[in-house]
Structure 1
């Protein structure tokens, strides 16, 4: 028996035979074409269009977050700049296959170096290029295997187009050798409640047909398991399924301490599904869907209509809305489309809104009007509004005062920058609440771009440096009786959720699919248990040690 380690997504466990993802197609040979440049150009354009339509069709079928990702990939396939690069290469006598390979490779290197949002897009270019080249060759694109029976899928990583349409009746679990907790594979695995362990480098040695246990709760893949281990995995999977199908209850610790479990949402239409999974409200509503791809900011009336739908969908519940989080990493023509060498450290979030205050004032007006209108109809929610990327006490004071001026009763800040965490006592003194965005807080603490694969190992919210900053905010919240929520991906990790509560978090917000697992683990531990697990994690020297120490502390309290 061998145990391979990685990052588990959720608490699930599954066992079954391995089926490996096929390796990418080999690079096309760099040899002269036997066809004319015009013929090769036509072949390339036909393949690009066909792949774009296929990706759009997959996205429409998948829906949700997957649709957004796949539509972005379809836009890549039809990017005019890429088409020009391909045309230039076919003009020199290259085959369409080679021209596509070189053009996409050139773009990938450029975007990868830029990091941020564009760096994330670069990671998807390989998949699009592979699909185009496969179509040109007349062969199937590398994708999910179909061995004819349920299986554990093992891959270097999964492209969004593959993850979006996984047959959940046959894919028992996912194991990837690359990627981290914020990779596309991890995010989509959470959304679809797929048992997954990502970043398990040792999985390269797994072979087709061998039986493994994928234990997400332990972040482990067990090879050559014993009969007893297989039986235990089957029992745990059945228990988890039974717990997930039970009517959801409010989030709470074993001693009765309430820990409201909220949902991260990107559209008002996601409300019904989130409530069905037990969301007690919304801890992060991303408003970017209203602004992205727009040539000008939406009107107050257009925004108000969407916000009214959201608030009515969570009547009587808490709804935390994040103001527009955009800037140089997500360029908007009406906000900030200037090139920046390092957009992650540029004009984004509140900085961009403050520089274009009318956009900010319009959004606050729309939110306040939607709140008043839904309350007047007896459909009101408890609206909280927060600003992203707040770095200074002055900014916290500014946005709190401005929100109150516009009729927002509860205004707060996101803590995503270490400076805000280190001055949390002063920050929370001038605002109504704080919500910690663990994704960006980890990125800035570890100086590791959250979407750059080469530094994915640093992008781990379990790192004691990140946890210490969370603890600073939690302590300030306790001292001033100010609510402190968590709305980053970290809250979807059940064991880390327990630690975050121990550090002072009063609410947790996550992808709705993670709610059941987090609810189940919290119910097994008291507040004292959570604090002991947090202390154990803080005493460690790195992320892996922190995770192991917290797991050991939590296991002792569960056994006791």
Structure 2
């Protein structure tokens, strides 16, 4: 028996035989085309059109976060600059297949060098190129295998188009050799409640057909499991299924301490599913969906309609809306199109909004209009706040427009370290653990080469969460968590022990977090958090918390 370790997504466990993802198509040869340039160009345009429409169709079928990712891929496939590069190569006598391969590879390398959100899109470009080349060759694109029975899928990583439409009756679990807790594969696996362990370096050596146990709660893939290992996994599967079917209750600790469990949402249409899964409100509503697909900012009327639709789904409940978070990994031509050498440290978040204040004022107007027309408890927060002065600016402006509860995102160390002073002005703070981890460890959150650093369990990150929690306690202000860390059930307990008063996550993670919180009192949470804080790295912090939690369970 061998245990391979990675980052588990959720609490699930499953077992079964391995099926490996098909290898990529072989690269086309660099040879002169026997066709005319016009013929090759027509072939490419037809292939790209077909692939883009297929991606959009897959997105419509999948819905949710997957649809956003796939629609972005379709737009990428039809990028005019990319089309021009392909056409230039065809004009030089290359075949359509090689022109696509070479042009896409060139763009991929450029995006990889940029890092951030655009760096992560490099893998998506590879997937689009493979699909276009497969269409040109008249063969099926490499994808999820179908061995004719349920299986554990092992892959380097999964393209969004494949993850979006996984047959959950066939795919028992997912194991990848790359990716971290905030990768698209992890996010989509969490959204679909797929048992997954990502970033498992030794998974490349797993053999086709061998049986493994995939334990997301422990972040472990066990090879050559015994009959007892399999029986234990089956019992846990059954217990988890029974817990998921239990009546939904408000989030709370074992001693009755309330910990409201909220949902992270990307568009109003996601609200109904969140309510069904037990969300007690919204801890993060990302407003970017209104802006990212537009060449100009949406009107006040368009924004008011969308925000009203969202708020109407949560009468009497808290809904936290984040003001437009653009720049860096989400560039907008009408907000900030200037080239920046290091955009993650540039004009992004509130900085970008202040530079184009009319966009911020219009958004606040629309939010105030929606608030007046509905019965939800609207809270509005600014992204990427790094100074006390920025806090004062945003809160003052929001109040000017009638926003009753105005707060800030804590995503950089400076705002965490000055939390008491920040919260002297803000009504609340919400910690974005993805960016806080990125800036604390100086590791691009979407760059595969440094994904091992992107772990919110790191004690340095936990210290900053504690500093923010302490600031909330001193000022009497609530502290929320809205990053991916809140969806990790044991880490959720630690975050509460560090001072978080609410947790917000992907709706599919609510049941696991709710069940885990009920096993621990507030004193337990503080003790488990203390064990994690005393560690020297992320792995030992996770292990220390697991041991501390197990001691309570045994007692």
- Whether TM-score is above 0.5 comes out as yes
Q: How does 1:119-518 map to 2 (within 5 A)?
A: 119-374=119-374, 380-518=375-513
1:424–1:473 CA contact under 8 A, matched in 2: yes
Q: Secondary structure at the match of 2:24?
A: coil
1:204 alignment partner, SS class = helix
Runs (5+) with no aligned partner, structure 2? none
Unaligned runs of 5+ in 1: 375-379
In the aligned structure 1, how far is the partner of 2:297 from the partner of 2:57?
29
Matched, 1:86 2:81: no
- Cα deviation for residue 41 of structure 1 reads 2.5
- For 1:279 and 1:329, locate their aligned partners in 2 and report how far apart those are by CA, in whole Å: 28
Comparing 439-448 and 41-50, the one that deviates more: 41-50
CA contact 1:293–1:332 (8 Å) conserved in 2: no
Q: What displacement does 1:339 show?
A: 1.6
State which drifts further: 296-305 or 318-327: 296-305
Question: Structure 1: how far apart are the matches of 2:372 and 2:52?
Answer: 43
Equivalent-residue separation in structure 1 for 2:209 and 2:115 (angstroms): 38
Provide the C-alpha distance between the structure 2 equivalents of 1:65 and 1:12, rounded to a whole number of angstroms: 21
Q: Deviations over 1:19-51 (max 9, x none)?
A: 111111221222233333333222222221211
Q: Distance in 2 between matches of 1:15 and 1:116?
A: 34
**How far does the alpha carbon of each residue in 1:132-179 deviate from its partner, in whole angstroms, 9 at most, with x for none?**
111222221110000111111110100000000000011111000100
**In structure 2, the residue corresponding to 1:389 is in which secondary structure?**
coil
**Separation in structure 2 between the aligned mates of residue 455 and residue 344 of structure 1, nearest angstrom:** 15
Deviations 1:84-103 (A, max 9, x none): 11121122222221111110
Change (3 A) 1:495 1:354: same
Shift of 1:328: 4.7
Question: Following TM superposition, by how much is the alpha carbon of 1:488 offset from its aligned partner in structure 2, in angstroms?
Answer: 0.4
**Shift of residue 258, structure 1, vs aligned partner:** 0.7
Moved over 3 A (4+): none
- What is the aligned length? 555
- SS of 2:298's equivalent in the other structure is coil
Q: Counterparts of 1:519 and 1:150 in 2: how far apart (Å)?
A: 29
Aligned partners of 2:212 and 2:311: how far apart in 1? 45
In the TM superposition, what whole-angstrom CA distance separates every residue of 1:404-452 from its partner, at most 9, and x where no partner exists? 1211111100000111111111111111100000011111111111111
Separation in structure 1 between the aligned mates of residue 229 and residue 205 of structure 2, nearest angstrom:
21
CA root-mean-square deviation: 1.2
SS of 2:415's partner is helix
**Would you say 1:21 and 2:21 are equivalent positions?**
yes
Whole-angstrom CA distance in 1 between matches of 2:203 and 2:296? 48
For residue 294 of structure 1, report the CA deviation from its aligned partner. Answer: 2.2
1:547 to 542, 550, 553: 542
1:355-380 CA distances to partner (integer Å, 9 max, x unpaired)?
A: 22222122112212221221xxxxx1
**Distance change in 2, residues 1:372/1:213 (3 Å):** same
Q: Distance in 1 between matches of 2:297 and 2:67?
A: 23
Q: Which moved more, 1:464-473 or 1:398-407?
A: 398-407
Aligned to 1:527: 522
The alignment partner of 2:470 has SS state of helix
Tell me the secondary structure at the aligned position of residue 491 of structure 1. Answer: helix
1:198 Cα offset (Å): 0.3
- Asked if the contact 2:116/2:328 (under 8 Å) is kept, the reply is no
Q: What TM-score, normalized by structure 2, do the two folds share? A: 0.98
Deviations 1:175-210 (A, max 9, x none): 001000011110000100000000011111111111
CA distance in 2 between partners of 1:301 and 1:36 (Å): 51
